[in-house]
Amino acid sequence: MKIKSILLTTMLSGCLLSKAQTLNGLWNAAKDAAVTNSTTIIDAAKTNTTTAGVINAAENVLGTKTGTGSTTPSLTNDEVIKGLKEALTVGTNNSSGLAAKADGYLKNPKIYIPWPAEAKDMRDKLIKMGMQKKVTEFETSLNRAAEEAAKKASPVFVDAITNMSIGDGFAILNGNDTAATHYLREKTTAPLKEKFMPTVKEAVAKVKVTSYWKPLATAYNKLPGVKKQNPNLDDYVCTKAINGLMTLISDEEAKIRKDPMARVTDILKKVFGFKN
């Protein structure tokens, strides 16, 4: 009995030592990562209320997902960034395809382009004057222009995605379902609009948006006491077209995050499968 007791004590001591070394190793790794990724670790830890959850969050940031406390990297920040850009690229290609179809903007309430808000009083007065049909024709033309522009949107968006600088990929990966699209919108909207504008101008001319606008503006501007309206239609359509595409891209990003079937490339499977 004494021999068995000694053996059990020795084995237990060894297990405890091994556990202590494992936890110590994870703790040291987390401290090293905190030097460069402190904000990410803190934010990740805040969302977890259990010890296991905190350890899991730390492993996500460190790039370890073995479940054994091992600190062998299974996913690097560069791979995460590549995966995020791939998700946005796939999302862009799918979204521009959807938006470019007939009624892609016109019949989709999420991205439909309405009458310019700053000219709402003008719209109301024109309808009272019996010009509802022409108002509808003009609004349709705005959406047709966006659909036409969407046909050439993908290369412009993909170029912006490719050249977009991302520092901490894990912060975006561990963010909400549309975190990557939000980052894209935040970082590239201004240069994206500049590069997309020629395509929009071409589309506006092709569907003759101005020809639908002029009769409305002429009729309205003849009314006594009204403020003459002459919005920049190219700028309006460009802004709304980009916003619509971003909305669709965010939907595609959410699909990739939630649905394994939407992860159509190896890097998408690795990065988003790792997160899950």
pLDDT at 170 over 70: yes
Q: How many CB atoms sit inside 10 A of residue 208's CB?
A: 12
Q: Please report, as a single letter, which amino acid is at residue 161.
A: I
What's the pLDDT tens digit per position in 191-207?
999 999 999 999 999 99
More confident residue, 264 or 229: 264
Residues 4-31 have a mean pLDDT of: 42
What's the pLDDT tens digit per position in 48-95?
454 444 455 555 544 444 444 444 448 999 999 999 999 999 999 999
Residues 161-178 have a mean pLDDT of: 94
More confident residue, 211 or 70: 211
C-alpha to C-alpha distance for 123 and 216, rounded to whole angstroms: 9
pLDDT at 223 over 80: yes
C-alpha to C-alpha distance for 275 and 75, rounded to whole angstroms: 10
Range of weakest confidence among 12-26, 89-103, 182-196: 12-26
Is the Cβ–Cβ distance between 147 and 59 less than 8 Å?
Answer: no
Percent of the chain with pLDDT over 70: 73
Percent of the chain with pLDDT over 90: 70
| 57: Cβ contacts below 8 Å, ≥ 6 apart | 41, 44, 45, 47, 48, 174
* The two three-digit tokens of residue 32, written as one number: 């090293």
User: If pLDDT is split at 50, 70 and 90, which confidence band does 132 have?
Assistant: very high
C-alpha to C-alpha distance for 61 and 77, rounded to whole angstroms: 9
Burial code (b: 16+ CB inside 10 Å, e: under 16) for 63-96 equals bbbeeebebeeebebebbbbbbbbbbbbbbbbbb
| 104: Cβ contacts below 8 Å, ≥ 6 apart | 98, 111, 146, 147, 150
pLDDT at 156 over 90: yes
Q: How many CB atoms sit inside 10 A of residue 116's CB?
A: 19
Q: How much is the pLDDT for 74?
A: 85
Is the Cβ–Cβ distance between 84 and 180 less than 8 Å?
Answer: yes
Is the Cβ–Cβ distance between 147 and 101 less than 8 Å?
Answer: yes
Q: How much is the pLDDT for 43?
A: 53
pLDDT at 119 over 50: yes
